[in-house]
């Protein structure tokens, strides 16, 4: 297979450089016409022009006092510069390659240490809840930031309904695994399915939401349709997209980026300008659409709401 690592090297030993190298190989493969799969990913003709930017409006969306008063980025910014490796490793790939993806019907399986493990159709899963607009400051580990007017549901409300068992301490989320619909999964730059997790008290924090929309309308595919996690005090990679499974557990989940490069990406991933990424500073960031750099704030500016979750913890060790 094209990009497969030789020698059966366990994922835990793959260096960040090798992730980078496989990104380059992916790009080279995608520009070479001889490779059917990769060529299909790259072809603009494989992407219908419908859907994006013309998605159904969501009714009865409440405003929230938890929204930032900063001006949201444009719809174009929010939907054209994305990370979603299931549709390719470059920022333009998710929009270019997700046009044909259909996120309905959609099933969410709830598993593990929970009152009633069961599968839900997405519609019935979200039906009990009012939708809220949450305008959040988002900060990617790659030092760009963006203000996004999400539409979503407080994750804590959903968890209360699901009723985790008393011994549940964490919640783990899994993205859809379907290489026929997610072309990036045919070339394993990172391990699929994508997995992320939160401590249960983090998941219950009022800032954590499951988003089903942005800018008042249904979530575009490239932003994680039909339902994705948003935790604005953490680096963007915690915000797992296109969720099909929610599992309650007593052991700390291991996220996809932790597996790829454990020295670079930790479980907590709280935005922290004092703790640099091994290969770049986290002290500043560039807001999409701007050239000047801004200072990055502890917990991405949400310290008042979330710092107490981590009191007594060494945030250099628990990065
Ligand atoms: N399944 C999945 N979820 C994902 C990713 C991904 O590659 N696959 N990328 C993450 C990263 S690194 C970031 S910064 C955010 C980007 O979200 P956005 O494209 O909506 O801004 O999605 C996160 N969720
Ligand atoms: Mo990211």
- Render pLDDT for 190-211 as a digit per residue (tens, 0 to 9): 999 999 999 999 999 999 999 9
Residue nearest to atom 21 of ligand 1 (CA): 82
Average pLDDT over residues 23-46: 45
- Choose which residue among 72, 76, 80, 84 to substitute to test ligand 1 binding: the one with the highest number of ligand atoms within 8 A of its C-beta: 84
Does the C-beta of 238 come closer than 6 Å to ligand 1? no
- State pLDDT tens for residues 56-87: 999 999 999 999 999 999 999 999 999 999 99
Does the C-beta of 237 come closer than 6 Å to ligand 1? yes
Other Cβ atoms within 10 Å of 188 Cβ, number: 18
Give the pLDDT band (50/70/90) at residue 34. very low
Round to whole Å and give the CA distance between 92 and 216: 23
Which CATH code of 3.30.70.20, 1.10.3720.10, 3.90.420.10, 1.10.10.10 fits the domain covering 11-310? 3.90.420.10
CA 274 to chain centre: 23
Q: What is the mean pLDDT of the chain?
A: 89
User: What's the N-to-C CA distance of the chain in angstroms?
Assistant: 35
Q: Could you tell me if 26 and 193 are in contact, meaning their C-beta atoms sit under 8 angstroms apart?
A: no
246 Cβ contact list (under 8 Å, min separation 6): 108, 109, 110, 111, 162, 171, 172, 173
Q: What is the largest CA-CA distance in the chain?
A: 56
Does the C-beta of 187 come closer than 6 Å to ligand 1? no
Sign of CA dihedral 146, 147, 149, 155: positive
45 vs 194, which has greater pLDDT?
194
- Choose which residue among 183, 237, 260 to substitute to test ligand 1 binding: the one with the highest number of ligand atoms within 8 A of its C-beta: 237
Average pLDDT over residues 108-124: 98
Does the C-beta of 81 come closer than 6 Å to ligand 1? no
242 Cβ contact list (under 8 Å, min separation 6): 86, 103, 175, 176, 224, 225, 226, 227, 228
Closest to 152 in 3D by CA, of 233, 220, 208, 79: 208
Residue nearest to atom 12 of ligand 1 (CA): 237
From residue 54, how far is each of 22, 49, 135, 216 by CA, in Å? 34, 10, 20, 11
Round to whole Å and give the CA distance between 306 and 114: 25
**Could you tell me the distance, in angstroms and rounded to a whole number, from the CA of residue 196 to the centre of ligand 1?**
11
Domain ranges of the chain: 11-310
pLDDT at 54: 82
3-state secondary structure 218-252: ECCHHHCCCCEEECCCEEHHHCCCCEEEEEEECCC
CA dihedral of residues 277, 223, 257, 169 (deg, nearest 10): 110
**Could you tell me the distance, in angstroms and rounded to a whole number, from the CA of residue 243 to the centre of ligand 1?**
12
Does the C-beta of 192 come closer than 6 Å to ligand 1? no
Q: Could you tell me if 175 and 185 are in contact, meaning their C-beta atoms sit under 8 angstroms apart?
A: no
- State pLDDT tens for residues 129-158: 999 999 999 999 999 999 999 999 999 999
Average pLDDT over residues 206-224: 98
pTM for this prediction: 0.88
pLDDT higher than threshold 80 for residue 23 = no
Does the C-beta of 137 come closer than 6 Å to ligand 1? no
Other Cβ atoms within 10 Å of 152 Cβ, number: 27
Residue nearest to atom 1 of ligand 1 (CA): 241
Give the number of the atom of ligand 1 that is nearest the alpha carbon of residue 142: 14
Does the C-beta of 175 come closer than 6 Å to ligand 1? yes
Give the pLDDT band (50/70/90) at residue 188. confident
- State pLDDT tens for residues 224-243: 999 999 999 999 999 999 99
Does the C-beta of 150 come closer than 6 Å to ligand 1? no
pLDDT above 70 covers a percentage of the chain that reads 83
User: Which structure tokens are listed for 240?
Assistant: 């797992």
- Choose which residue among 19, 177, 236 to substitute to test ligand 1 binding: the one with the highest number of ligand atoms within 8 A of its C-beta: 236
């Amino acid at each position: 297979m094209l990009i497969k690592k030789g020698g059966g090297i366990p994922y835990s030993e793959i260096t960040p450089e090798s992730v980078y190298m496989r990104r380059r190989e992916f790009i080279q493969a995608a520009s070479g016409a001889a490779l059917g799969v990769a060529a299909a990913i790259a072809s603009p003709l494989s992407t219908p022009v419908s859907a994006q930017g013309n998605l159904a409006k969501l009714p009865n969306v409440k405003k929230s006092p938890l929204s930032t008063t900063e001006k949201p980025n444009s719809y174009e910014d929010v939907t054209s510069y994305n990370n979603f490796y299931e549709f390719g490793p470059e920022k333009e790939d998710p929009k270019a390659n997700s046009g044909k993806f259909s996120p309905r019907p959609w099933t969410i399986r709830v598993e593990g240490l929970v009152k009633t493990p069961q599968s839900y159709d997405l519609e019935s899963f979200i039906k009990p809840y009012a939708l809220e607009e949450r305008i959040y400051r988002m900060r990617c580990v790659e030092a760009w930031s963006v203000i996004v007017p999400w539409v979503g549901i407080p994750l804590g409300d959903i968890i209360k309904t699901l009723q985790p068992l008393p011994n549940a301490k964490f919640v783990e989320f899994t993205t859809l695994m379907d290489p026929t619909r997610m072309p990036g999964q045919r070339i394993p730059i990172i391990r699929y399915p994508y997995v992320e997790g939160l401590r249960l008290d983090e998941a219950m924090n009022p800032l954590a939401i499951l988003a089903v929309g942005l800018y008042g309308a249904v979530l575009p595919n490239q932003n994680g349709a039909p339902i994705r996690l948003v935790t604005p005090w953490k680096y963007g990679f915690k915000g797992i997209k296109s969720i099909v499974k929610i599992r309650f557990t007593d052991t700390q989940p291991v996220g996809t980026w932790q597996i790829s490069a454990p020295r670079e990406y930790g479980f907590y991933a709280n935005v922290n300008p004092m703790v640099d990424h091994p290969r770049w500073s986290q002290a500043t960031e560039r807001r999409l659409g701007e050239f000047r750099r801004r200072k990055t704030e502890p917990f991405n500016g949400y310290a008042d709401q979330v710092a107490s979750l981590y009191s007594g913890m060494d945030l250099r060790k628990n990065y």
